[in-house]
A = this chain, B = another copy of it.
Amino acid sequence: MRSLKLTLAYDGTNFVGWQRQANGVSIQQVMEEAFAPMLSAPTTVVGAGRTDAGVHAIGQVASVVIDSDLDVQTIQRALNARLPPEVRVTAVSEAPFGFHARFNAAGKHYRYRLATGPWVSPFDRWFTWHAPARRDVEAMRRAASDAVGRHDFASFQATGAFVSDTTRTLHRFDIIEDQAELRFEVEGDGLLRHMVRSLVGTVAEIGAGSRPADSMPAILAARDRGAAGRTAPALGLTLVADRY
């Protein structure tokens, strides 16, 4: 038995998300099915980030314990031969035995793309949130920088989530303007469910003028999902990298 570290890229458009679910195909399911022929018993593939339906990844890390002696190059080739083209294994390496992609992760880097112009490129249509509006980017940057640091992010946790300690450290929340697109680069230690999307949705409302630029501290202090803005749609979100 040995542990492997896998790095994955996927177009999440047609998946129910990372985790196995009854109502559709998950990334976890296709990964476990791709491993099956090389193992004597089924295995569980653990993803560092449990991305939601429609969320993409370019650097998702996953871990697996297997009883195969195949070398890592052969494993990568065999997985990619069996996986649908929406999911690619971009790297496979040996990991210390017991390596766990989620529990061992030190942080995550997400990117969110918001298209602000009148139309979205056909090539970006599954990868950007189209919300055309003139936005005050400086106001958005003020709010984003107020969210950076160690805070209780209860106001930015999905309704119905069961995490009791909602304190997290946000290391980075940058906003990059690129023509008719705003790109949010968000890095933090373990992030709460929907945290990036509700931060982006809230900051987008601030940019459109429906909330003041200095409203972030009060939203955080409220510790109430209702105090923050709407959750930005899944399709604009990409998991860029998991940090160890």
Closest CB in chain B relative to A23 CB, distance in Å: 22
Closest CB in chain B relative to A125 CB, distance in Å: 5
Closest CB in chain B relative to A56 CB, distance in Å: 8
Closest CB in chain B relative to A239 CB, distance in Å: 13
Tell me the bound Cα distance from A72 to B89 in angstroms. Answer: 46
Q: Contact partner of A122 among B87, B119, B120, B121, CB < 8 A?
A: B87
Closest CB in chain B relative to A111 CB, distance in Å: 13
Taking the complex as formed, is A11 at the interface, i.e. its CB lies under 8 A from any CB of chain B? Answer: yes
Taking the complex as formed, is A5 at the interface, i.e. its CB lies under 8 A from any CB of chain B? Answer: no
State the interface size on chain A (CB cutoff 8 A).
Answer: 22
- Could you mark each residue 107-145 of chain A with 1 if its beta carbon is under 8 Å from any beta carbon of chain B, else 0? 000000000001111110101000000000000000000
Tell me the bound Cα distance from A144 to B56 in angstroms. Answer: 37
Q: Whose C-beta in chain B lies nearest to the C-beta of A79?
A: B119
Taking the complex as formed, is A9 at the interface, i.e. its CB lies under 8 A from any CB of chain B? Answer: yes
B119 lies within 8 A of A88 (CB): yes
A interface, over-half SS: mixed
B120 lies within 8 A of A85 (CB): yes
A86 lies within 8 A of B125 (CB): yes
Q: Whose C-beta in chain B lies nearest to the C-beta of A11?
A: B122
Give chain B residues whose Cβ lies under 8 Å from the Cβ of A120. Answer: 85, 88
Tell me the bound Cα distance from A122 to B55 in angstroms. Answer: 13
Tell me the bound Cα distance from A85 to B89 in angstroms. Answer: 29
Give chain B residues whose Cβ lies under 8 Å from the Cβ of A118. Answer: 76-77, 80
5 A-B pairs besides A58-B123, A77-B118, A88-B122 with CB distance below 8 A are A9-B123, A11-B123, A58-B121, A87-B122, A88-B120
CB-CB nearest 6 A-B residue pairs:
A11-B122, A85-B125, A88-B119, A86-B122, A80-B119, A10-B122
27 residue pairs from A and B, CB less than 8 Å apart: A9-B121, A9-B122, A9-B123, A10-B122, A11-B122, A11-B123, A11-B125, A56-B123, A58-B121, A58-B123, A76-B118, A77-B118, A80-B118, A80-B119, A85-B120, A85-B122, A85-B125, A86-B122, A86-B125, A87-B122, A88-B119, A88-B120, A88-B121, A88-B122, A89-B119, A90-B119, A123-B127
